[in-house]
Amino acid sequence: MNLFEPANTVALASVCAGVSIALLQFYFGKRHERFVNTLRIIDHLEDRNMLSIRHHVHEIMERAKAQNYDFEKLSDDDRARLSNVAKLFGLIGLLSRRNSIDRSIIYPGWARNVCVTFERLEPYFAWRETLPGGRALNGDFKWLARRVRRYYR
């Protein structure tokens, strides 16, 4: 079999073109996915309910401090609010680790909020770690807070 025969050359060129097209589709598909994920995260961050919850974290943590950080004494709604904020920032951390969001948009815009919220929630995370499955709640959030710190300070 001679690779330089016209039929083999055409077949080889077709295979190369097909592989190139597949790689381009994969690349642009990943870019599109990152873009869509970034927009969805921004929608969640700027959602009216989430903004309200994020602004009330300090108040909730002050009530918890008055109870010696006995989070069982907080209302179910307050604990749910703290969990929702932690889950959102944890999701951002997870997507960021996987390079599934555009960090150059998310990090500078929300670095301060990520860092301040993480610091405020540290007693909550310590309490959650005593519960089954509680550690998973803060791992990606903690990773994100370390990553964005350079944008905040």
Nearest to 113 by CA among 30, 61, 45, 47: 45
The number of beta carbons lying within 10 Å of the beta carbon of residue 47 is 13
Q: Across the chain, what does the average pLDDT equal?
A: 87
| Distance (Å) of CA 25 to CA 17, 20, 21, 38, 92 | 12, 9, 6, 20, 25
Give domain limits for the chain. 31-152
Q: Quick check: 4 pLDDT over 70?
A: no
In this prediction, residue 60 carries a pLDDT of 93
Q: Quick check: 96 pLDDT over 90?
A: yes
Q: Quick check: 20 pLDDT over 90?
A: no
Record the tokens describing residue 31, joined without a space.
């870019």
Prediction pTM value: 0.80
CB–CB of 108/137 below 8 Å? Answer: no
